[in-house]
Amino acid sequence: MSVVTPCIVLAGGLGTRLRSAVPDLPKCLAPVGGRTFLEIQLETLAAAGIGPFVLSLGHLADAVLEAVQRFRLADRIDCVTEDRPLGTGGAILNALQERAIDEALVANGDTFIDADLAAMLTPLALASGEQARMAVMAVPDRARFGGVSVAGGVVTGFSEKGSGGPGWINAGLYRVHRHAFDACAPGSNFSMEAEIAPRLVAARALHAATLTGSFIDIGVPDDYRRFCAEHAGTAP
């Protein structure tokens, strides 16, 4: 019997860095050939055995709600719209609560991973204290992303953006349990990266899944154009 692996996609960001290339759309709807980044991302995740999907929306939510009706996966997509900005952590907790989900994958709406995701499909080892799992990938230069320190399969710390050199980075894909947010007030604005992840690290509750493959964050124009060149055959 197949295991259902729901996935929350954080697709409500302002996309300020990408605005020069995609001025009138939420960044998840950035055009890639005749399609959108979001549709390509969701179909890639679905092919890996992930879904159904819950889109966490905010900025320009109506445009996303209209667009997903035309997606081939439309019947596997649900949407939750924030009435005010909640931050990445608040958005995850809101989606978990609104759709009564205990454990889910969480993807950023502007990152694309081309890798074997099997390590992220295994349920969390709650009995061993694992409350969240982060996909990490090795890159030749961590300066733009910040680094992740890993020891024995457990995330032990983070380094700030700007620290160059090769190493592990957060690949923008988590597996989380509702218990990771037990200390958080529902409806509050907080960050997964700045508040929840460090708390989980201190408790040795954030584990790492090391993936091998490629990673693109389309949040900046140069990488958006690179993604288009690779997936549509032409840069915008």
Asked whether residue 95 is domain-assigned, the answer is yes
pLDDT of 19: 57
Asked whether residue 164 is domain-assigned, the answer is yes
Question: By C-alpha distance, which of 162, 177, 217, 170 is closest to 193?
Answer: 170
pLDDT higher at 124 or 162: 124
Q: Taking a C-beta distance cutoff of 8 angstroms, is the pair 196, 185 a contact?
A: no
86: which DSSP letter?
Answer: -
Residue 160 has pLDDT above 90, yes or no: no
In which domain, by residue range, is 178 found?
7-231
Asked whether residue 38 is domain-assigned, the answer is yes
How confident is the model over 65-91, as pLDDT tens digits? 999 999 999 999 999 999 899 999 999
Domain count, the chain: 1
pLDDT of 44: 95
Asked whether residue 1 is domain-assigned, the answer is no
Asked whether residue 179 is domain-assigned, the answer is yes
pLDDT of 18: 63
Asked whether residue 236 is domain-assigned, the answer is no
Peptide bond before residue 166 is cis, with ω within 30 degrees of 0: no
